[in-house]
């Protein structure tokens, strides 16, 4: 299992979680609640999202490092689309 995370500074984290989960809910299995979300791309790959007042925490869990690396720009691009004008600083770090 490979896990990467990003702490993304934003005051709109809860709104981003809600919008991204709604967007991907048509294609993937999604669970969402107040400021929290989980998007399952397949049985071995998911994105977890947790919003606070100042940041959005995004975590990718994947079967291997290559799959995690493949999803990083996809998740970042979709979050930036959902941000509508706000440019998000998304920097991924591997979790050991």
pLDDT digits (tens, 9 = 90+) for 32-66: 999 999 999 999 999 999 999 999 999 999 999 99
Q: What is the mean pLDDT of the chain?
A: 95
Q: Which fold has domain 2-95?
A: TATA-Binding Protein (3.30.310)
**Residue 96 pLDDT more than 80?**
no
Domain ranges of the chain: 2-95
**Residue 85 pLDDT more than 90?**
no
Share of the chain above pLDDT 90, in %: 94
Where does residue 84 fall: left (phi above 0), alpha (psi -120 to 50 degrees), or beta otherwise?
left
pTM score, whole prediction? 0.94
């Amino acid at each position: 299992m490979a896990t990467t995370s990003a702490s993304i500074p934003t005051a709109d984290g809860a709104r981003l979680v809600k919008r991204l989960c709604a967007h991907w809910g048509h294609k993937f299995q999604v669970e969402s609640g107040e400021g929290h979300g989980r998007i399952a791309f397949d049985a071995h790959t998911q994105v977890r999202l947790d919003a606070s007042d100042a940041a959005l925490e995004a975590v990718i869990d994947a079967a291997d490092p290559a799959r995690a690396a493949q999803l990083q720009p996809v998740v970042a691009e979709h979050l930036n689309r959902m941000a509508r004008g706000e440019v998000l600083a998304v920097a991924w770090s591997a979790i050991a």
